[in-house]
Structure 1
Amino acid sequence: MRKILPISLRRWRRALAGSLISIASFPVFIILDLLDIILCFFFRFVDLIIEGKSSSSSSSSCYCWRGGQSGEEEVSASLFNRKNVFREVGLHTLQISSKKIFFEEISLKKMVGASSSPRWSDCRCPVCVSWMEKGDERLHFISKEPDQANPGMSAENVIFLHGFLSSSSLWAELIFPNISRKASDNLRLFAVDLLGFGKSPKPGDCLYTLKDHIEMIEQTLFNSFPLESFHLVAHSMGCIMALAIAEKYPGRVKSIALAAPPYFSGEKTDQSLLRWVVPRKVWPPLRFGASVMSWYEHLGRTVCFFVCRFHTFWDWILMVLPRRDLHFLAVDLTKHTHHSAWHTMHNVICGEGKSMDRFLAALAQSGVPSLVVHGSDDQIVPVDCSRLMKQRFPHIDLQVVPGVDHTSIIVGRESEFIADLEALWFSSIASSEKTH
């Protein structure tokens, strides 16, 4: 029989484990701080040699040289104020001096890039640059038309938004083929690749703010299809965008379903959200990897160079492996540029995470049926986030699924997830028909 420890002892063990992780994390992140500064000089030199451009005309400029706020409302302060021990003790003076030698002072818009073309460290395969060759800057999307609408019942529209480092494949592979006959007959489904991800455009002159993402969704779907009303389904980071759309179009959203939404508690500034979402800790491994990619611009670019720049090679490796059921998820991890992922992480998750209360208050006021599904074992966005959301906004229907994490809240339990979605969709449709 398993021995149950007293609460005080469990708390003591957790506190001890947390202290040991913090002690182990300190020297690791000191080394990473130094390495990121070294890579900063390396990339600036190589960018100048290969691209033959100064920072005023290149998309390769970094945020190491600036401190404080950008002065632009949509741009997250977490881009500028990331902690680095060596900058704080004086190495920033050396950086500034070298900057005066090689680069002129430039505006924010120029700093993040005046060219939409890929950098030398970005992938240039036919798939990744197809949007440039076609001259089509709309998002890539996958749609499924209703098979046969029932008489007297018009087709309902459903828009699916994926999370960070994912794509429309999440929905097209797992949800679209498995919906019920009733849903297949009466629903029109849209799944987009968000700006900078999957097969969608990845411009180098974009800041990838929430506004940029929403405008591209509008340009791609709202301006091309008669979406007078629609349901929203989103996972992880996509939940922020779904809630922003619901606030902007309260009369057109008929229901909203959120899987593992990143809702944050406590002080809500860009920097505090960065520390909360990706604390500088070496454990658990997923959090450590996310913290490296989010805190270190140049380390992140180096990882993207090896993982994304040569993704066709990794795709080939994955194709010869015997297990291929999660193949599209692995491929999605490589279908972005460092520029698009870096700015989306900071400007959407950190920059707009503090807006969630406003979005949810507007949702509550509109009376839109709202479902939140969260896994009890989620290490990326802890389930306590959704529990707090439920406390503050009681109108939300919260379902906590035991034993699943951030990805398996959908992957591996498609039938249950679809059943929840269809119950939400058709109950909101029935309620709307009674109202009218």
Structure 2
Amino acid sequence: MRWPWSRSKQLPLLHVAIDEGTGPTVVLVHGIASSTNAFENVIPLLTPQHRVIALDLLGFGASPSPAGATYTIEEHVEHLEHTLAALGIERCIIVGHSLGSLIAARYAATHADEVRGLVLVSPPVYLPPESFGDPVERTAMGLYLRAYEFLRNNKRFTMRNAAVLARLSPIRDVLEVSERNWRAFTLSLEHVIETQTAVSDIAAVSAPVQVVYGTLDPFLMPGGLRIIEQMRHVSVHRVAGGDHVIRRRMARVVATAVASVSAHAADLR
């Protein structure tokens, strides 16, 4: 859905951290409690053949945190749309990581004419526990949701452990949960990840979809991935031994997926 200009012109723009290279446009959308730093291993692989735009999501990185924001997926998509329009982007490939993959899928589902292809990296595709026939998967999904609820309700615990994980990460400043972004973190977790429509959004995308994920990613739900893997327009790349972070090996796979989408779009012209 496009918002009337009378509304969208009042929205603050998202922070654009990177706008480099020439060629087909690739937009990078990071995950929760992160920033464009999540793509530091991907960007150098893309800029030789693409215009690469990396932006911070609403409430994260250097982007604004409006006082009245509720951080629903609709709100994230609205700000993404407004920022891309301000940059004059009419057609692009979108790469979303984690939370960003859910936002990218909704954007692609509602902006079919503007998205040449979609690359979803480490997508946390979740379903209500009762939708799983396998009791093990049903229990696992329930545990994920209870864990996220615990994180939202225990600020001190969450901030302390996020700081530990950030120090251990191979990518600098890739994770931040602080007083500054606590509201964006908890509401995005609740409104986008925990209560999501990723399966129906991905099914509604008309462009090709490439999915990249690590086999050791602790945040992925195999049952949800199996559903999207069976969709005819979805191709899957599994990175053996990869986790949730886009390390160099996974970055190369992401770049290959982008090149595949770009080549497909060129063939259609």
Q: Which TM-score tier does this pair reach, normalised by the shorter chain?
A: 0.7 to 0.9
Aligned pair in 2 of structure 1 residues 279, 144: CA closer, same or farther (>3 Å)? closer
Aligned pair in 2 of structure 1 residues 431, 218: CA closer, same or farther (>3 Å)? same
Match of 1:430 in 2: 266
Q: Which 5+ residue runs of structure 2 have no aligned equivalent?
A: 1-9, 132-137
- Give the residue type in structure 2 aligned to 1:430: A
**Deviation digits for residues 31-72 of structure 1 (CA, Å, limit 9, x no counterpart):** xxxxxxxxxxxxxxxxxxxxxxxxxxxxxxxxxxxxxxxxxx
Structure 1 runs of 4+ with >3 Å offset:
265-268, 272-277, 302-308, 332-336
Aligned pair in 2 of structure 1 residues 208, 259: CA closer, same or farther (>3 Å)? same
Match of 1:97 in 2: none
Using CA pairs under 8 Å that are at least 6 residues apart, name the structure with larger relative contact order, 1 or 2: 2
- Give the residue type in structure 2 aligned to 1:339: R
The structure 2 residue matched to 1:292, chosen from 150, 165, 180, is: 150
Give the total of aligned pairs: 252
- Partner-residue secondary structure (3-state), 2:68: coil
**Deviation digits for residues 103-142 of structure 1 (CA, Å, limit 9, x no counterpart):** xxxxxxxxxxxxxxxxxxxxxxxxxxxxxxxx99321112
Match of 2:70 in 1: 207
Q: RMSD over aligned Cα, in angstroms?
A: 3.2
- Map 1:351-430 onto structure 2 (within 5 A): 351=195, 353=196, 355-363=197-205, 366=206, 368-391=207-230, 393-407=231-245, 410-430=246-266
Preserved contact between residue 374 and residue 386 of structure 1 (Cα < 8 Å): no
The structure 1 residue matched to 2:97, chosen from 219, 235, 245, is: 235
Match of 1:176 in 2: 43
Match of 2:172 in 1: 327
- Partner-residue secondary structure (3-state), 1:246: helix
Shift of 1:306: 6.6
Preserved contact between residue 213 and residue 238 of structure 2 (Cα < 8 Å): yes
Between the aligned partners of 2:28 and 2:104, the Cα distance in structure 1 is 9
Preserved contact between residue 274 and residue 350 of structure 1 (Cα < 8 Å): no
Shift of 1:384: 4.0
- Give the residue type in structure 1 aligned to 2:232: P
Between the aligned partners of 1:426 and 1:206, the Cα distance in structure 2 is 34
- Greater Rg, structure 1 or structure 2? 1
The structure 2 residue matched to 1:343, chosen from 187, 190, 208, is: 187
Match of 1:221 in 2: 84
Preserved contact between residue 93 and residue 118 of structure 2 (Cα < 8 Å): yes
Q: Normalising by structure 2, report the TM-score.
A: 0.80
Q: Normalising by structure 1, report the TM-score.
A: 0.52
Between the aligned partners of 2:160 and 2:213, the Cα distance in structure 1 is 33
Q: Percent identical across equivalent pairs?
A: 25
Match of 1:141 in 2: 16
Match of 1:72 in 2: none
- Map 1:56-205 onto structure 2 (within 5 A): 137-146=12-21, 155-171=23-39, 173-179=40-46, 183-184=47-48, 186-205=49-68
**Deviation digits for residues 386-434 of structure 1 (CA, Å, limit 9, x no counterpart):** 223212x132101222222222xx223155224423432332233222x
Between the aligned partners of 2:267 and 2:253, the Cα distance in structure 1 is 21
Preserved contact between residue 163 and residue 234 of structure 1 (Cα < 8 Å): yes
Between the aligned partners of 2:257 and 2:179, the Cα distance in structure 1 is 28
